[in-house]
Amino acid sequence: MLRAVRRRVVALALGTAAALAVPSAFLAPPAQAFEDGVRGGQAKVLDTLDLPEAWRVTKGEGVVVAVLDSGVDPVHRDLQGSVIVGKDFTEGANPPNVPPRRLHGTYMASLIAGHGHGLGGEDGVIGVAPESRVLSVRVILEDEEPGFRAFNSDPRFEDVVAKGIRYAVDQGADVINMSISKELATEKERAAIGYAVSKGVVLVAAAGNDGAPAPGGTGFAPYSYPAAFPGVVSVAAADHGLRRASFSNWNPSVLLAAPGVDILGAGPGDEYWVGKGTSQATALVSGVVALIKAEHPNLPPALVIQALTAGAIKRPTGGYDTDLGFGVVNAARSLAEAARLARYTFVADGSHAHDPARVLGAGKGAKRNASGGTAGNAGEGMGGGTGGGTGEGTAGNAGGNTERGAAGSARQGRATPPPVEVVRRDSSRITIYGGVAVVAGIAALVSVGVIALLVGRARRVTPEPVTFLISAQPGSGE
């Protein structure tokens, strides 16, 4: 029944302005005939994510996922009762009395929180976290809307994504889904992402659908924002064979992938759509994050991300590549990893904590935690265990998140897969440092004699502890 649908794939929004945020999806026309076969059309995706097993643990109850998009239809039968209608940051772009189209946003929301309809909810779209709720935050227009060009060029709307992120956090969102992409970043977006992560919110964004290498000989597809910011889970799209889809961007910002071809979802007015894109893949990952947050609400973003990467399937040779990141997301495995990570806590004082919205320097690695993985936010690592700088020009979160040109190996022209442990020897430095150590030892012996003379005159003073390091320590756990 699904194959009977006309497969003329069209680009939903392909604006050219650098500041524009556009949906990262391609959609085929709607088909009411899908109704009786919707769940069957989702079967492969549900199986790939291992959702039946994951749902034995949780279905996302109590979690709010903000969908920063074109708006969500709150009365679609597969979403009814699960949509919180939030602020419209595009207000004024469309002429008065023109209703929002809300196709792309409804589609993404259904992949996250669709609960189906009919007896037992067995018909219609089922989302990854069907008992979660979505907060609709409108930050983009679709290209069929009359205000699309004005929205694209009007400076009033330059920072709508940053405003949407802060609004979602303040409204209590646990997860922020951004199935949108644009070419350039802004400082306000960077700051908003840092604010969200500091509040424990996990941000997930589309890696983009440009596919071809970017001009300039970098060897990578273009970076898309907000996905390429540190602290954001950048999601690529996988095809039916769980390889990188031809349209999916590849670069060191990619953290992991999810199915992104022939994905069936809901549209406004009880329609059903099928499409492809990193948008759909992003929504699926956001759903998995919602499951993790439902079961482990206090797990910090870095450990949620680590659970995603550690639980991924189809892991590339060497553990990481720029096509699929650390592999394809799997809900059941990620929940199991999250349960293990929840037994540990991070302790840090503010002066040493990493700013998640700052590009990481080379060689800033991740500390190992007691479970044998790498703690993504230990030391300067961020990106769910994607740290481990090699000292070869690789950022500590290579494969996690980066800004344009800030990650990857400058010598190899390709991101170095982040290793679990790196040991490097430099004989000349060892010799020099050995000599310095001998001199320092002699000086120390001389100092001991001087100190002994002064000790009798000095008053005993208890030093105040000042050193705090981020580290993984066993907690009470589960």
Note the helical H segments in 199-347. Answer: 278-295, 301-310, 331-341
| Nearest-angstrom CA–CA distance, 210 and 248 | 7
How many structural domains are present in the chain? Answer: 1
The catalytic residue among 50, 69, 174, 262 is: 69
Q: Fill in the amino acid letter for 224.
A: S
Q: What is residue 211's predicted lDDT score, i.e. its pLDDT?
A: 83
Q: Would you say the C-alpha torsion 275, 277, 279, 280 has a positive or negative sign? A: positive
Q: 69 in a domain, yes or no?
A: yes
Q: Return the pLDDT at 22.
A: 54
Is 97 exposed, middle or buried (CB count within 10 Å of its CB: 0-12, 13-18, 19+)? exposed
For strands 256-259 and 232-238, give the pairing: parallel
Instruction: Say how many CA atoms lie within 13 Å of 287 toward its Cβ.
Output: 34
Question: Residue 24 catalytic?
Answer: no
Cβ neighbours of residue 114 under 8 Å, at least 6 residues apart? 78, 79, 124, 125, 126, 127, 130, 265, 266
pTM: 0.71
Residues 198 and 401: their CA atoms lie apart, in Å, by 16
Which entry of 132, 136, 279, 409 is annotated as an active-site residue? 279
430 assigned to some structural domain: no
Residue 393 lies in a domain: no
Report how far residue 180's alpha carbon sits from residue 223's, in angstroms, rounded to the nearest whole number: 12
- Whether residue 408 lies inside any domain: the answer is no
3-state SS class at 184: coil
Mean pLDDT of residues grouped by 10 in the chain (478 residues)?
Answer: 26 31 56 62 96 98 98 97 97 90 97 93 95 98 91 89 98 98 92 98 96 76 94 97 95 97 94 95 99 98 97 95 97 98 68 39 30 31 34 32 33 32 34 43 50 47 37 38
pLDDT at 128: 99
Tokens at residue 197, please? 């992560």
Identify whether 455 is part of a domain: no
Look up residue 251 and give its two tokens.
């670069």
Which of 186-191's residues contact partners 24+ apart within 8 Å by CB, and which partners? 186/158, 186/159, 186/162, 188/159, 188/162, 189/159, 189/161, 189/162, 189/165, 189/225, 189/226, 189/229, 190/229, 190/357, 190/358, 191/162, 191/357
Six token digits for residue 333: 């495995």
Look up tokens 């949620």; give the residue. 304
SS3 (DSSP) at 258 = strand
Active site residue 69: yes
Quick check: is 456 in a domain? no
Q: 3-class SS at 228?
A: coil
In contact, 143 and 93? CB cutoff 8 Å: no
Active-site residue (options: 50, 76, 78, 104): 104
Helix (H, G, I), strand (E, B) or coil at 35: helix
Residue-range definition of the domain harbouring residue 31: 2-344
Contact residues for 145 (Cβ-Cβ < 8 A; gap 6+): 93, 94, 98, 100, 101
Q: Does residue 279 have an active-site annotation?
A: yes
Q: Is residue 449 part of a domain?
A: no
Q: What are the tokens at 395?
A: 């950022």
pLDDT at 184: 86
How far is 399 from 408, CA to CA, in rounded Å? Answer: 8
Residue 265 sits at φ, ψ, to 5 deg, of -150, 180
Query: Other CB atoms closer than 10 Å to residue 375's CB: what's the count?
Result: 26
Q: Flag whether 157 is in a domain.
A: yes
Helices 103-113 + 278-295 axis angle, to 10: 40
Q: Is 125 helix (H, G, I), strand (E, B) or coil?
A: strand
User: CB within 8 A of 379, min separation 6: which ones?
Assistant: 354, 364, 365, 366, 367, 387, 396, 469, 470
CATH of the domain at 144: 3.40.50.200
